[in-house]
Amino acid sequence: MGAKGANERAHVLERRDSEERERGRGRALFFSRPEKPQPAPPPPKKNLSSQQITTLPNGLRVATEATPHAQTAAVGVWIDAGSRYESAATNGAAHFLEHMAFKGTAVRDTRQLEQEVEDMGGHLNAYTSREQTCYYARVFSGDVARAVDILADILQNSKLDEGAIERERDVILREMQEVEGVPEEVVFDHLHATAFQQTPLGRTILGPAANVKSLTRCVQVSILLPPPSEVVRTRQRNSNAPFFLQSLPPLPLPHSL
């Protein structure tokens, strides 16, 4: 093969390689995938609940939280009358009074109280801690005013009948025996007694058995009269807080029993 033929062959091979490279680029371009766009971040969730603190003319502070579209409500009264505010002689009085709150008032006897709550499909209860005593009700949103009326009644008008007090002593003493059989309860009582020695926080909530056997109606009345720091807290659902408060009857603080 002459020089001319060799040059032509080299030229053909070079052109073929060039075409292959171009086709390779084309395939690369054809099969290349653009970067997948990142989805937009979701919008921040709106807080559908609203909280408001209102001070009533009688000085009570009301914390209200409204959640639209819900059909139930919880209403509670928190009173600074826990065991830490008791002396050694009155230790257990706040818990004793919690039991007595559901034993009838000047307006409702025990049966009427239970029946009224049951007719609403509600729940009425209370608990005592070292810091506070709480009385609360869970009802449908349309029954909030009735629930507040019941709570106000048991707090202001409880009869504290002497006969009921004597009967309740045995109930509380049995409760104390049950608590003593629960290790979780006993451990924390011993923990408080060790950590807060010689202070009211070191005492138990139920108090000693000797106090339960001797607490009088007079002592219970002194616990029932709320201090100025009493706080009423409501968790009202499906209601606008200002209108909810406007719909309630006035609830004056008790002055005497």
Sheet arrangement for strand 72-79:
50-55, 61-66, 231-235, 72-79, 133-140, 123-128
Closest CA to 138 of 68, 231, 236, 63: 236
Q: Is the dihedral of CA 165, 171, 177, 178 positive or negative?
A: negative
Of these residues, 98, 114, 118, 230, which one is catalytic? 98
**Integer Cα distance of 168 and 212 in angstroms:** 9
Of these residues, 168, 178, 180, 230, which one is catalytic? 168
List beta partners, residue 73: 139
In which residue are the tokens 């009838």 written? Answer: 104
The yes-or-no answer on residue 168 being catalytic is: yes
DSSP code per residue over 142-171: GGHHHHHHHHHHHHH-B---HHHHHHHHHH
The residues assigned a catalytic role are: 98, 168
